[in-house]
Amino acid sequence: MTALAQTRTWESTQREQLKEFGPLLERLRRHEVWAARIDEVAEPTHLDDLLAFPFTTKEDLRAAQAERSSEHPLGAFQLVDTRELSQVTSSSGTTGAPTYFGLTQSDVRRWGARIGDAYRVAGVAPGSVAALTTGMAIVAGGLPYADGIRHAGGTLAWIGGQTTGRMALGMQRLGIDVLVATASFAAHFAERCEQELGVPARELSVRTVIAGGEPGAGVPHIRRAILDAWGATRVSEFMGLGDILPAMWAECEVGQGMHFTAAPDVFVELIDPVTLEHVPWELGATGEAIYTTLLREASPVLRFRSRDQLQITSVECACGLATPTMRCVGRTDDMLIYKAMNVFPSAVREVVLEAASGVLSGTMRIRKDFEAQVRFDDDIPLEVELRDDLDTGAADAALRAASALVRERLRVRVAIEPVPVGVIPVSDYKNALVYAPGSS
Ligand SMILES: [Zn+2]
Protein backbone atom coordinates (compact mmCIF):
# COMPACT_ATOMS: atom_id res chain seq x y z
CA MET A 1 0.00 0.00 0.00
CA THR A 2 1.08 3.61 -0.22
CA ALA A 3 2.80 5.59 2.49
CA LEU A 4 -0.54 7.27 3.15
CA ALA A 5 -1.85 5.38 6.15
CA GLN A 6 -5.48 4.65 5.46
CA THR A 7 -6.53 4.94 9.09
CA ARG A 8 -5.27 8.50 9.33
CA THR A 9 -7.36 11.52 8.50
CA TRP A 10 -6.10 14.18 6.11
CA GLU A 11 -5.90 16.64 9.05
CA SER A 12 -3.75 14.30 11.11
CA THR A 13 -1.48 13.61 8.12
CA GLN A 14 -0.94 17.33 7.69
CA ARG A 15 -0.45 17.86 11.45
CA GLU A 16 2.17 15.13 11.46
CA GLN A 17 3.91 16.67 8.43
CA LEU A 18 3.96 20.11 10.08
CA LYS A 19 6.54 18.72 12.57
CA GLU A 20 9.02 18.37 9.69
CA PHE A 21 9.16 22.12 9.09
CA GLY A 22 11.38 22.59 12.19
CA PRO A 23 14.20 20.31 10.97
CA LEU A 24 13.80 21.76 7.44
CA LEU A 25 14.22 25.34 8.69
CA GLU A 26 17.26 24.27 10.68
CA ARG A 27 18.87 22.79 7.56
CA LEU A 28 18.01 25.81 5.41
CA ARG A 29 19.42 28.29 7.95
CA ARG A 30 22.86 26.76 7.52
CA HIS A 31 22.95 28.25 4.01
CA GLU A 32 23.29 31.94 3.40
CA VAL A 33 20.83 32.04 0.50
CA TRP A 34 18.05 30.69 2.72
CA ALA A 35 19.07 32.25 6.05
CA ALA A 36 18.33 35.70 4.64
CA ARG A 37 14.93 34.61 3.33
CA ILE A 38 13.67 32.91 6.48
CA ASP A 39 15.23 35.18 9.05
CA GLU A 40 11.88 36.23 10.48
CA VAL A 41 10.03 32.92 10.71
CA ALA A 42 9.74 30.52 13.64
CA GLU A 43 8.97 26.80 13.68
CA PRO A 44 5.26 26.44 12.87
CA THR A 45 2.93 24.80 15.38
CA HIS A 46 -0.23 25.51 13.40
CA LEU A 47 -1.04 25.57 9.68
CA ASP A 48 -1.68 29.32 9.82
CA ASP A 49 1.88 29.92 11.03
CA LEU A 50 3.00 29.06 7.50
CA LEU A 51 1.38 32.24 6.20
CA ALA A 52 4.37 34.15 7.64
CA PHE A 53 6.79 32.12 5.49
CA PRO A 54 8.01 33.57 2.18
CA PHE A 55 6.94 31.97 -1.11
CA THR A 56 9.39 30.55 -3.61
CA THR A 57 8.48 31.27 -7.23
CA LYS A 58 9.63 29.85 -10.55
CA GLU A 59 11.41 33.19 -11.09
CA ASP A 60 13.30 32.71 -7.78
CA LEU A 61 14.45 29.29 -8.97
CA ARG A 62 15.59 30.69 -12.32
CA ALA A 63 17.39 33.61 -10.67
CA ALA A 64 19.15 31.27 -8.22
CA GLN A 65 20.29 29.12 -11.16
CA ALA A 66 21.82 32.18 -12.78
CA GLU A 67 24.12 32.38 -9.73
CA ARG A 68 26.11 29.36 -10.82
CA SER A 69 29.60 28.68 -9.59
CA SER A 70 32.08 25.91 -10.26
CA GLU A 71 31.24 24.57 -6.79
CA HIS A 72 27.49 24.86 -7.31
CA PRO A 73 26.68 24.37 -11.02
CA LEU A 74 22.95 24.21 -10.20
CA GLY A 75 23.00 27.64 -8.57
CA ALA A 76 22.44 29.15 -5.16
CA PHE A 77 19.73 26.68 -4.08
CA GLN A 78 22.06 23.71 -4.52
CA LEU A 79 22.67 22.88 -0.86
CA VAL A 80 24.98 19.88 -1.16
CA ASP A 81 28.40 19.36 -2.64
CA THR A 82 28.29 18.34 -6.31
CA ARG A 83 30.00 15.03 -5.51
CA GLU A 84 26.94 14.11 -3.41
CA LEU A 85 24.63 14.50 -6.41
CA SER A 86 23.48 11.23 -7.86
CA GLN A 87 21.34 12.59 -10.69
CA VAL A 88 20.37 15.83 -12.40
CA THR A 89 16.87 16.32 -13.71
CA SER A 90 15.13 19.20 -15.45
CA SER A 91 11.74 20.83 -15.77
CA SER A 92 10.19 20.50 -19.22
CA GLY A 93 10.82 24.15 -20.07
CA THR A 94 7.45 24.57 -21.76
CA THR A 95 6.93 27.88 -19.95
CA GLY A 96 10.45 29.21 -20.49
CA ALA A 97 14.03 28.04 -20.08
CA PRO A 98 14.26 24.77 -18.15
CA THR A 99 15.41 24.71 -14.55
CA TYR A 100 17.77 21.96 -13.39
CA PHE A 101 17.70 20.10 -10.08
CA GLY A 102 20.11 17.81 -8.37
CA LEU A 103 19.15 14.75 -6.37
CA THR A 104 21.25 12.97 -3.76
CA GLN A 105 21.07 9.18 -3.50
CA SER A 106 18.53 9.59 -0.72
CA ASP A 107 16.49 12.00 -2.88
CA VAL A 108 16.51 9.53 -5.78
CA ARG A 109 15.29 6.74 -3.48
CA ARG A 110 12.58 8.91 -1.96
CA TRP A 111 11.40 10.11 -5.41
CA GLY A 112 11.24 6.53 -6.63
CA ALA A 113 9.14 5.51 -3.62
CA ARG A 114 6.74 8.48 -3.82
CA ILE A 115 6.34 8.35 -7.60
CA GLY A 116 5.80 4.61 -7.14
CA ASP A 117 2.98 5.41 -4.66
CA ALA A 118 1.36 7.61 -7.31
CA TYR A 119 1.62 4.87 -9.95
CA ARG A 120 0.14 2.30 -7.55
CA VAL A 121 -2.87 4.56 -6.93
CA ALA A 122 -3.16 5.14 -10.70
CA GLY A 123 -3.30 1.41 -11.43
CA VAL A 124 0.23 0.00 -11.80
CA ALA A 125 0.75 -3.25 -9.89
CA PRO A 126 2.97 -6.33 -10.11
CA GLY A 127 1.97 -7.97 -13.37
CA SER A 128 1.33 -4.65 -15.14
CA VAL A 129 3.39 -4.00 -18.25
CA ALA A 130 3.55 -0.21 -18.49
CA ALA A 131 4.58 1.69 -21.63
CA LEU A 132 6.32 5.02 -21.02
CA THR A 133 6.05 7.22 -24.11
CA THR A 134 8.21 10.25 -23.37
CA GLY A 135 11.45 10.36 -25.30
CA MET A 136 13.35 12.60 -22.91
CA ALA A 137 15.20 10.96 -20.02
CA ILE A 138 16.20 14.14 -18.18
CA VAL A 139 12.70 15.58 -17.67
CA ALA A 140 10.34 14.74 -14.82
CA GLY A 141 8.34 12.40 -17.06
CA GLY A 142 11.51 10.57 -18.12
CA LEU A 143 13.85 8.72 -15.76
CA PRO A 144 11.92 9.68 -12.58
CA TYR A 145 8.70 8.18 -14.04
CA ALA A 146 10.61 5.10 -15.16
CA ASP A 147 11.89 4.61 -11.59
CA GLY A 148 8.37 5.13 -10.21
CA ILE A 149 6.84 2.46 -12.45
CA ARG A 150 9.43 -0.04 -11.24
CA HIS A 151 8.89 1.00 -7.61
CA ALA A 152 5.17 0.33 -8.03
CA GLY A 153 6.06 -3.23 -8.98
CA GLY A 154 5.21 -2.85 -12.65
CA THR A 155 7.27 -3.98 -15.64
CA LEU A 156 8.71 -0.91 -17.35
CA ALA A 157 8.60 -0.86 -21.15
CA TRP A 158 10.17 2.46 -22.11
CA ILE A 159 9.07 2.69 -25.73
CA GLY A 160 9.41 6.49 -26.06
CA GLY A 161 12.22 8.10 -28.01
CA GLN A 162 11.86 5.79 -31.03
CA THR A 163 9.93 6.26 -34.27
CA THR A 164 6.15 5.95 -33.92
CA GLY A 165 6.37 2.72 -35.92
CA ARG A 166 8.72 1.16 -33.38
CA MET A 167 6.60 2.46 -30.51
CA ALA A 168 3.48 0.90 -32.03
CA LEU A 169 5.30 -2.39 -32.54
CA GLY A 170 6.30 -2.35 -28.87
CA MET A 171 2.67 -1.81 -27.86
CA GLN A 172 1.67 -4.91 -29.80
CA ARG A 173 4.59 -7.23 -29.07
CA LEU A 174 5.01 -6.57 -25.37
CA GLY A 175 1.40 -7.02 -24.28
CA ILE A 176 1.25 -3.51 -22.81
CA ASP A 177 -1.71 -3.11 -20.44
CA VAL A 178 -0.87 0.32 -18.98
CA LEU A 179 -0.12 3.28 -21.25
CA VAL A 180 1.56 6.35 -19.71
CA ALA A 181 1.21 9.45 -21.91
CA THR A 182 -0.11 12.99 -22.02
CA ALA A 183 -3.86 13.18 -22.70
CA SER A 184 -3.33 14.63 -26.19
CA PHE A 185 -0.61 12.12 -27.11
CA ALA A 186 -2.74 9.20 -25.86
CA ALA A 187 -5.45 10.10 -28.41
CA HIS A 188 -2.99 10.81 -31.23
CA PHE A 189 -0.95 7.66 -30.57
CA ALA A 190 -4.06 5.44 -30.84
CA GLU A 191 -4.54 6.67 -34.43
CA ARG A 192 -0.88 6.20 -35.27
CA CYS A 193 -0.92 2.65 -33.88
CA GLU A 194 -3.79 1.76 -36.19
CA GLN A 195 -1.93 3.26 -39.19
CA GLU A 196 1.29 1.45 -38.31
CA LEU A 197 -0.14 -1.92 -37.28
CA GLY A 198 -3.26 -2.17 -39.42
CA VAL A 199 -5.40 -3.04 -36.40
CA PRO A 200 -7.41 -0.61 -34.26
CA ALA A 201 -5.68 0.38 -31.01
CA ARG A 202 -8.66 -0.98 -29.08
CA GLU A 203 -7.68 -4.47 -30.21
CA LEU A 204 -4.31 -4.15 -28.44
CA SER A 205 -4.13 -5.03 -24.73
CA VAL A 206 -4.23 -1.58 -23.06
CA ARG A 207 -6.67 -1.49 -20.13
CA THR A 208 -5.47 1.55 -18.16
CA VAL A 209 -4.29 4.87 -19.57
CA ILE A 210 -2.35 7.04 -17.10
CA ALA A 211 -2.52 10.56 -18.46
CA GLY A 212 -0.45 13.42 -17.08
CA GLY A 213 1.72 16.36 -18.04
CA GLU A 214 -1.21 18.60 -19.00
CA PRO A 215 -4.80 19.07 -17.89
CA GLY A 216 -7.37 17.29 -20.03
CA ALA A 217 -7.76 13.69 -18.89
CA GLY A 218 -10.31 14.83 -16.30
CA VAL A 219 -12.61 16.35 -18.95
CA PRO A 220 -15.44 13.83 -19.53
CA HIS A 221 -15.37 14.01 -23.36
CA ILE A 222 -11.59 13.71 -23.58
CA ARG A 223 -11.69 10.82 -21.09
CA ARG A 224 -14.39 9.04 -23.11
CA ALA A 225 -12.41 9.49 -26.34
CA ILE A 226 -9.26 7.99 -24.75
CA LEU A 227 -11.24 5.03 -23.33
CA ASP A 228 -12.88 4.33 -26.70
CA ALA A 229 -9.70 4.73 -28.75
CA TRP A 230 -7.80 2.20 -26.64
CA GLY A 231 -10.69 -0.03 -25.60
CA ALA A 232 -9.53 0.79 -22.06
CA THR A 233 -11.56 0.45 -18.87
CA ARG A 234 -9.81 3.13 -16.88
CA VAL A 235 -8.21 6.54 -17.37
CA SER A 236 -6.16 7.72 -14.38
CA GLU A 237 -5.17 11.34 -14.32
CA PHE A 238 -1.69 12.05 -12.97
CA MET A 239 0.09 15.24 -11.94
CA GLY A 240 3.32 16.53 -10.46
CA LEU A 241 5.95 19.22 -10.90
CA GLY A 242 9.55 18.75 -11.95
CA ASP A 243 10.59 21.47 -9.51
CA ILE A 244 9.01 19.68 -6.52
CA LEU A 245 8.24 16.01 -7.18
CA PRO A 246 7.24 14.76 -10.65
CA ALA A 247 4.17 12.85 -9.41
CA MET A 248 2.19 14.16 -6.46
CA TRP A 249 -1.40 13.48 -7.45
CA ALA A 250 -2.92 10.35 -8.94
CA GLU A 251 -6.44 9.18 -9.65
CA CYS A 252 -7.71 5.97 -8.03
CA GLU A 253 -10.15 3.47 -9.56
CA VAL A 254 -13.13 5.52 -8.29
CA GLY A 255 -12.25 8.09 -10.95
CA GLN A 256 -13.53 11.29 -9.41
CA GLY A 257 -10.25 13.17 -9.22
CA MET A 258 -6.62 12.88 -8.15
CA HIS A 259 -5.50 11.95 -4.61
CA PHE A 260 -2.48 13.61 -3.01
CA THR A 261 0.17 10.87 -2.93
CA ALA A 262 3.33 12.84 -2.04
CA ALA A 263 3.15 12.69 1.79
CA PRO A 264 5.32 12.48 3.82
CA ASP A 265 7.83 14.09 1.45
CA VAL A 266 5.83 17.06 0.25
CA PHE A 267 3.49 19.36 2.18
CA VAL A 268 0.67 20.93 0.21
CA GLU A 269 -1.34 24.06 1.04
CA LEU A 270 -4.32 25.45 -0.83
CA ILE A 271 -4.43 29.27 -1.02
CA ASP A 272 -6.51 31.99 -2.58
CA PRO A 273 -4.13 33.36 -5.27
CA VAL A 274 -5.33 36.92 -4.63
CA THR A 275 -5.65 37.20 -0.80
CA LEU A 276 -2.94 34.53 -0.22
CA GLU A 277 -5.02 33.16 2.71
CA HIS A 278 -5.55 29.43 3.17
CA VAL A 279 -8.56 27.84 1.53
CA PRO A 280 -10.03 24.93 3.59
CA TRP A 281 -9.96 21.46 2.00
CA GLU A 282 -13.71 21.31 1.37
CA LEU A 283 -15.79 19.87 -1.44
CA GLY A 284 -15.97 22.34 -4.34
CA ALA A 285 -13.29 24.68 -2.96
CA THR A 286 -10.78 26.09 -5.46
CA GLY A 287 -7.32 27.46 -4.83
CA GLU A 288 -3.69 27.47 -5.89
CA ALA A 289 -1.47 24.61 -4.69
CA ILE A 290 1.61 25.61 -2.67
CA TYR A 291 4.27 22.94 -2.14
CA THR A 292 7.12 22.48 0.34
CA THR A 293 9.65 19.66 -0.06
CA LEU A 294 10.09 18.59 3.57
CA LEU A 295 12.68 15.86 3.12
CA ARG A 296 14.66 16.73 0.00
CA GLU A 297 18.40 17.11 0.57
CA ALA A 298 19.96 18.54 -2.59
CA SER A 299 17.62 21.44 -3.32
CA PRO A 300 14.69 21.83 -0.93
CA VAL A 301 11.96 24.28 -1.94
CA LEU A 302 9.86 26.21 0.56
CA ARG A 303 6.26 27.21 -0.23
CA PHE A 304 6.56 26.97 -4.02
CA ARG A 305 3.81 28.81 -5.88
CA SER A 306 2.70 26.23 -8.43
CA ARG A 307 0.23 28.55 -10.22
CA ASP A 308 -1.93 25.42 -10.60
CA GLN A 309 -5.53 26.12 -9.75
CA LEU A 310 -7.17 23.09 -8.11
CA GLN A 311 -10.81 22.28 -7.44
CA ILE A 312 -11.59 19.80 -4.65
CA THR A 313 -13.80 16.98 -5.96
CA SER A 314 -14.11 14.88 -2.78
CA VAL A 315 -12.94 14.81 0.82
CA GLU A 316 -13.82 11.17 1.42
CA CYS A 317 -13.21 8.65 -1.32
CA ALA A 318 -14.74 5.19 -1.57
CA CYS A 319 -11.27 3.73 -2.23
CA GLY A 320 -10.35 4.40 1.40
CA LEU A 321 -7.39 6.75 0.86
CA ALA A 322 -7.63 9.53 3.43
CA THR A 323 -6.63 12.43 1.20
CA PRO A 324 -8.86 14.83 -0.69
CA THR A 325 -9.22 14.46 -4.47
CA MET A 326 -9.04 17.29 -6.96
CA ARG A 327 -9.00 18.28 -10.60
CA CYS A 328 -6.59 20.88 -11.95
CA VAL A 329 -8.85 23.48 -13.57
CA GLY A 330 -6.13 25.69 -15.03
CA ARG A 331 -3.01 27.68 -14.40
CA THR A 332 -3.15 31.00 -12.65
CA ASP A 333 -0.74 32.10 -15.44
CA ASP A 334 -3.03 30.85 -18.22
CA MET A 335 -6.00 32.82 -17.04
CA LEU A 336 -7.33 35.09 -19.78
CA ILE A 337 -9.45 38.17 -19.33
CA TYR A 338 -12.37 38.90 -21.63
CA LYS A 339 -13.95 42.28 -20.84
CA ALA A 340 -13.16 41.94 -17.10
CA MET A 341 -14.28 38.27 -16.95
CA ASN A 342 -11.62 35.73 -15.97
CA VAL A 343 -11.56 32.52 -17.97
CA PHE A 344 -9.28 29.47 -18.18
CA PRO A 345 -8.59 28.01 -21.65
CA SER A 346 -9.23 24.55 -20.19
CA ALA A 347 -12.75 25.65 -19.17
CA VAL A 348 -13.45 26.88 -22.72
CA ARG A 349 -12.32 23.52 -24.10
CA GLU A 350 -14.52 21.60 -21.67
CA VAL A 351 -17.66 23.58 -22.57
CA VAL A 352 -16.99 23.46 -26.34
CA LEU A 353 -16.54 19.69 -26.19
CA GLU A 354 -19.72 19.30 -24.18
CA ALA A 355 -21.71 21.08 -26.88
CA ALA A 356 -19.98 19.89 -30.05
CA SER A 357 -17.89 16.77 -29.42
CA GLY A 358 -19.81 14.98 -32.19
CA VAL A 359 -18.21 17.11 -34.90
CA LEU A 360 -14.78 17.78 -33.34
CA SER A 361 -11.52 15.82 -33.22
CA GLY A 362 -11.02 17.18 -29.69
CA THR A 363 -7.90 19.20 -30.57
CA MET A 364 -8.28 22.98 -30.32
CA ARG A 365 -6.35 26.11 -29.39
CA ILE A 366 -6.91 29.76 -28.60
CA ARG A 367 -4.99 32.17 -30.83
CA LYS A 368 -3.40 35.22 -29.27
CA ASP A 369 -2.11 38.27 -31.15
CA PHE A 370 1.14 38.13 -29.22
CA GLU A 371 2.73 35.80 -26.67
CA ALA A 372 2.06 37.93 -23.57
CA GLN A 373 -1.55 38.76 -24.44
CA VAL A 374 -3.93 38.17 -21.52
CA ARG A 375 -6.75 40.60 -22.29
CA PHE A 376 -9.25 40.19 -25.12
CA ASP A 377 -11.64 42.99 -26.01
CA ASP A 378 -13.04 41.18 -29.05
CA ASP A 379 -14.32 37.61 -29.28
CA ILE A 380 -11.53 35.17 -28.35
CA PRO A 381 -10.36 33.35 -31.52
CA LEU A 382 -10.64 29.59 -31.03
CA GLU A 383 -9.38 27.18 -33.69
CA VAL A 384 -11.07 23.77 -33.52
CA GLU A 385 -10.35 20.68 -35.59
CA LEU A 386 -13.43 19.45 -37.43
CA ARG A 387 -13.81 15.75 -38.23
CA ASP A 388 -13.42 14.93 -41.95
CA ASP A 389 -16.64 13.21 -42.94
CA LEU A 390 -19.23 15.77 -41.89
CA ASP A 391 -22.36 17.37 -43.18
CA THR A 392 -21.50 21.11 -43.15
CA GLY A 393 -24.96 22.13 -41.93
CA ALA A 394 -24.70 19.86 -38.90
CA ALA A 395 -21.18 21.09 -38.15
CA ASP A 396 -22.21 24.77 -38.33
CA ALA A 397 -25.15 24.18 -36.01
CA ALA A 398 -22.94 22.34 -33.47
CA LEU A 399 -20.34 25.13 -33.50
CA ARG A 400 -23.04 27.79 -33.03
CA ALA A 401 -24.40 25.80 -30.09
CA ALA A 402 -20.87 25.62 -28.65
CA SER A 403 -20.38 29.42 -28.86
CA ALA A 404 -23.74 29.94 -27.19
CA LEU A 405 -22.94 27.52 -24.37
CA VAL A 406 -19.55 29.20 -23.74
CA ARG A 407 -21.31 32.58 -23.54
CA GLU A 408 -23.92 31.23 -21.13
CA ARG A 409 -21.61 29.21 -18.85
CA LEU A 410 -18.44 31.28 -18.82
CA ARG A 411 -19.81 34.69 -19.80
CA VAL A 412 -17.18 35.20 -22.49
CA ARG A 413 -17.50 35.21 -26.28
CA VAL A 414 -15.43 32.99 -28.56
CA ALA A 415 -15.10 33.21 -32.35
CA ILE A 416 -14.88 29.55 -33.38
CA GLU A 417 -12.82 28.87 -36.51
CA PRO A 418 -13.03 25.31 -37.84
CA VAL A 419 -9.81 23.85 -39.30
CA PRO A 420 -9.16 20.40 -40.84
CA VAL A 421 -7.75 17.55 -38.75
CA GLY A 422 -3.95 17.70 -38.58
CA VAL A 423 -3.59 21.48 -38.79
CA ILE A 424 -3.00 21.91 -35.04
CA PRO A 425 0.30 20.27 -34.08
CA VAL A 426 0.26 17.60 -31.38
CA SER A 427 3.45 17.16 -29.43
CA ASP A 428 4.34 14.06 -27.47
CA TYR A 429 5.10 16.03 -24.33
CA LYS A 430 2.76 18.93 -23.69
CA ASN A 431 0.06 20.35 -25.84
CA ALA A 432 -0.57 24.06 -25.55
CA LEU A 433 -4.16 25.24 -25.50
CA VAL A 434 -3.06 28.76 -26.33
CA TYR A 435 -0.61 29.98 -28.95
CA ALA A 436 0.58 33.13 -30.68
CA PRO A 437 1.56 32.74 -34.36
CA GLY A 438 5.26 33.26 -34.93
CA SER A 439 6.32 32.27 -31.39
CA SER A 440 6.84 28.80 -30.07
ZN1 LIG B 1 -9.94 7.22 -4.20
Instruction: Band the pLDDT of 439: cuts 50, 70, 90.
Output: low
Spacing, Cα 6 to ligand 1 middle (Å): 11
Nearest to 205 by CA among 176, 229, 226, 227: 176
Residue 421 has pLDDT above 60, yes or no: yes
Find the range with the poorest average confidence among 71-80, 268-277, 396-405, 421-430.
421-430
* Residues 112-123: tens digit of each pLDDT: 999 999 999 999
pLDDT at 436: 86
pLDDT at 329: 83
Spacing, Cα 124 to ligand 1 middle (Å): 15
**How far is it, in rounded angstroms, from Cα 353 to Cα 185?**
18
Instruction: Band the pLDDT of 206: cuts 50, 70, 90.
Output: very high
The mean pLDDT value of the chain amounts to 91
Spacing, Cα 318 to ligand 1 middle (Å): 6
Q: What mean pLDDT is predicted for residues 35-59? A: 93
Residue 440 has pLDDT above 60, yes or no: no
Spacing, Cα 45 to ligand 1 middle (Å): 29
Q: Are 115 and 147 in contact (CB under 8 A)?
A: yes
Spacing, Cα 315 to ligand 1 middle (Å): 10
Residue 437 has pLDDT above 90, yes or no: no
Every domain of the chain and the residues it spans: 1-263, 335-435
Spacing, Cα 202 to ligand 1 middle (Å): 26
CATH number for 1-263: choose from 3.40.50.720, 3.90.105.10, 3.30.830.10, 3.40.50.12780. Answer: 3.40.50.12780
Spacing, Cα 320 to ligand 1 middle (Å): 6
CATH class of 335-435: alpha beta
Spacing, Cα 259 to ligand 1 middle (Å): 7
Spacing, Cα 343 to ligand 1 middle (Å): 29
Spacing, Cα 311 to ligand 1 middle (Å): 15
Spacing, Cα 254 to ligand 1 middle (Å): 5
Q: What mean pLDDT is predicted for residues 186-198? A: 94
CA–CA distances in Å: residue 390 to residues 224, 337, 385, 394, 411: 21, 33, 12, 7, 29
- Establish whether domains 1-263 and 335-435 are of one fold: no
Nearest to 188 by CA among 422, 401, 399: 422
Q: What mean pLDDT is predicted for residues 59-76? A: 89
